[in-house]
Structure 1
Amino acid sequence: MKQMIGIDIGGTTIKLALIDSLGNIQKKWQIPTNVEENGRFIPQEIVATIQANVLGKDELAPDIAGIGIGVPGPISPDGNFVVQAVNLGWSEMPLKSVVEKVLSIPVTLLNDANAAALGEMWKGAAKGKQNLVFVTLGTGVGGGIIIDSKVINGVHSSGGEIGHIAVTSDETRICGCGNINCLETFSSANGMVRTMKKLLSEAGEVRGDFTTVDIFKWLDAGDYLAILTLDITVSYLGQAIAGIMNTIDAEEVVIGGGLSEAGSALLEPLKAKIDQHIFPQIRGKYMVSQAKLGNDAGIYGAVYSYLSTQTN
C-alpha cells in the first residue's frame, strides 16, 4: 500500500508521521523546531529525521510515494516556496525543492491551517463532507475553507484568513498583521482574555493573571463578567462565520484550537449567534462541531493534500 509522510511545522515542534493511503498512521514522531539563524537549518533537519526514522539503511524501509508539509505561512501560487513564515524567520524559502533534491521524493506544500482543515475533512469531525468552514481558535484565529474537497487558497495564497475579517467596535485593537480590529483581536484566546480584563477594569475588580480556562470556570459558576465576555467573543465570531456561510453555503463549521476544548460551553452559544445572522435557507441545515484530530489534523491534511495532487 502507498505510504506518505505528513509533516506539520509549528513554532515549537515539527510533527511527522508515516501514513498510508487509507489514513492509517504507521509511525509518528516529532523534533524541536530550530529557529536559529532565521530557521535556515529546518529543511535539512526535516530531511535528516526522515532519513533516520523512515528511510534509514534497512532494506525493508518503506517506499515513500510523497511528502506533504503544512507550514505556518502562505505558500506561493506555484506551490514551490513558503512566501513568509514569521515565527520561523522564513521569507521566500524554497522548501519544496530543497527536500525533493535530497530525498528524490515529491513534496506538496500548504498552509498549516488549510492542512488542518483537510485533515478534519478526511479523518476528523467533517469526515464524509466536502464543503466546510474550519476555524481554529488559539493565540489568534486561523481557518481554512474547503469547497468540493478543495482548499480555497486564493490568488495571493491568503484564502481562509478568517482571523483577519474586520469587525466593528468602539474599541481599537491593533492586530499583528497591522490592521485594526481584526476578528482575532476579539475572538481568539488572547482576545477573550483582553475582553475579560477590560470588563474587570471597568467593574473595578482585580483577579490577577488568568487564562481562558479560568474564564470558562467562572462562566460555569455563573459569573456575570465571564458570561458577558463569552457573549462578546462569540458575537463577533458568530457574525463572521455567518457571513462566510452565507457566501459559500457549506455543510459544516468545524471549530478547533485551544478554545474549542471548552466544548458545548463555547459551541452552543456560538451556534446560536451564527443562527441569528445566517440566511434563513441555511439555518438548521448545517452543523457546528468540535474538531476531533487535535495535533494530528495537520499531518493528516498534509498527506491528503499530496494524495489529491495525484488524483487530479
Structure 2
Amino acid sequence: MVKNYIAVDLGGTTIKFAIIDELGKIIKKWHIKTDVSDNGKNIPQDIVDTIKAEANDVEVSGVGIGVPGPISADGRSVVRAVNLGWGLTPLSDFIQKQLQVPVLLVNDANAAALGEMWQGAAQGKENIIFVTLGTGVGGGIILNKRIINGVHSSGGEIGHIPVESDEHRVCGCGNINCLETFSSANGMVTTMQKILADNEEERGEFTTVDIFEWLKKGDELAQQALDITVDKLGRAIASIMNTVDAEEVVIGGGLSAAGAPLLLPLKDVIDKHIFPEIRGKYHLKQATLGNDAGAFGAIAGFVVDD
C-alpha cells in the first residue's frame, strides 16, 4: 500500500498543509492563518488540531515540517524563528506525542531545495545548489542527497555571502554588503534606485517586474541594474560550485520568474568565474515547483533513499 505523509509549510502569515503520497502525488491541500500572538505559543497545537480535523480519514505515516529558521543538530527542535516569535522550541516532540507518527523538521529553504531534487527541476540529481531569489536570498546545498546543515544549523546561508562593493548596504542579519542586499528582488530595486539617482532621473515606485519590462525596451539604466545583480550572484554561485562541484544549480523565488533574461546572463557570469574543469559540465535551471517546493521537501526525508 502506498504511504501518505503530511507536509507542513510553516510561514509567518499562513501555515500550508498537504497530504502527499510517497510517489509524489498531492492528495489534498489546505491552509490556516498563523497565530503569532503570545510569541506563537498556540502554533504547535493549531498544527495538531488541523491535521486531526482535515486528515482524519487518511492513514498517515509521518509529518514533515518546513520551518522559517534553523533546526537543532538533533533535528528535534526549532532553534529560532523570528517571524513566529519563537526561541528554542521542541516542535518535533510535541507533534509526535500528539499524533503518534514520526516527525521531521527541516529549514524552509532547505525544504524547497529537497523538493526540487525529489519532484522538480533537479529530479534525478544528487548534488545541487538551490538559490531562491525573493525579498532576500535563501538557499540550500545538497550533496549526495543530504542537506548541508552545518554545526550551527546555518549551512547554505547563501544570501549572507559577503560581496565586494564601494556601497554600504546593511543586511537584516546585521552584516554589511551580504549577497542578498544586492541580488534579491529588494536588492535589485535598490540598485536601480541608486542608478536612477546617479543619473538624476525619477521613475516613481517600481518593482523588478518593471525593471525587466524596461530591459525589453532596451533601457540602458535597467541593463546596468541587471548587470550588477547577476555579477554579484554569479560570482557567489561560482565560488560555491568551485567548492562543492555540484551537478546542477536551481534558481527559484519570485525573481526567477523573469526566466531567460535573468538566467542567461547569470550563466555567463558563473562560467566566467567557475573552475575550468566544471565549466560546461553542470546545468543552470529555473525551479519548477513554485509554492509546492517546500511541501514536497518537507517530507522528502521520508521517501528519498540515502
Q: For the superposition of Structure 1 and Structure 2, which TM-score range results when normalised by the shorter chain?
A: over 0.9
Q: Give per-residue Cα distances to partners, 1:31-54, cap 9 Å, x unaligned.
A: 111211111111111111101100
1:104 Cα offset (Å):
1.1
2 CA distance for matches of 1:17 and 1:171?
43
2 CA distance for matches of 1:84 and 1:46?
18
1:87 Cα offset (Å):
1.0
Q: Does 1:43 align with 2:39?
A: no
Q: Structure 2: give runs of 5+ residues left out of the alignment.
A: none
Which residue matches 1:132? 128
- Contact preservation (8 Å) 1:107, 1:306: no
Q: Tell me which moved more, 24-33 or 115-124.
A: 24-33
- The amino acid that maps onto 2:28 is K
The number of residue pairs the alignment matches comes to 305
2 CA distance for matches of 1:277 and 1:301?
30
Which residue matches 1:58? none
1 CA distance for matches of 2:108 and 2:286?
18
Which residue matches 1:224? 220
Which residue matches 2:171? 175
Normalization by structure 1: what TM-score? 0.96
1 CA distance for matches of 2:76 and 2:198?
50
Which residue matches 2:12? 11
Q: Does 1:279 align with 2:280?
A: no
1:307 Cα offset (Å):
3.1
| 1:118-197 alignment runs, 5 A limit | 118-197=114-193
- Contact preservation (8 Å) 1:135, 1:141: yes
- The amino acid that maps onto 1:287 is H
Secondary structure of the equivalent of 2:79?
Answer: strand
Which residue matches 1:82? 78
Q: Does 1:257 align with 2:253?
A: yes
2 CA distance for matches of 1:88 and 1:169?
33
1 CA distance for matches of 2:4 and 2:129?
28
1:13 Cα offset (Å):
1.2
CA RMSD of aligned residues (A): 0.9
Which residue matches 1:268? 264
Q: Does 1:240 align with 2:236?
A: yes
1 CA distance for matches of 2:142 and 2:8?
20
1 CA distance for matches of 2:272 and 2:85?
41
- The amino acid that maps onto 2:144 is D
2 CA distance for matches of 1:115 and 1:171?
33
Which residue matches 2:98? 102
- Contact preservation (8 Å) 1:142, 1:161: yes
- Contact preservation (8 Å) 1:113, 1:298: yes
Normalization by structure 2: what TM-score? 0.98
Identity of aligned residues (%): 66
Secondary structure of the equivalent of 2:265?
Answer: helix
Secondary structure of the equivalent of 2:66?
Answer: strand
- The amino acid that maps onto 1:145 is I
1:176 Cα offset (Å):
0.5
Q: Structure 1: give runs of 5+ residues left out of the alignment.
A: 56-60
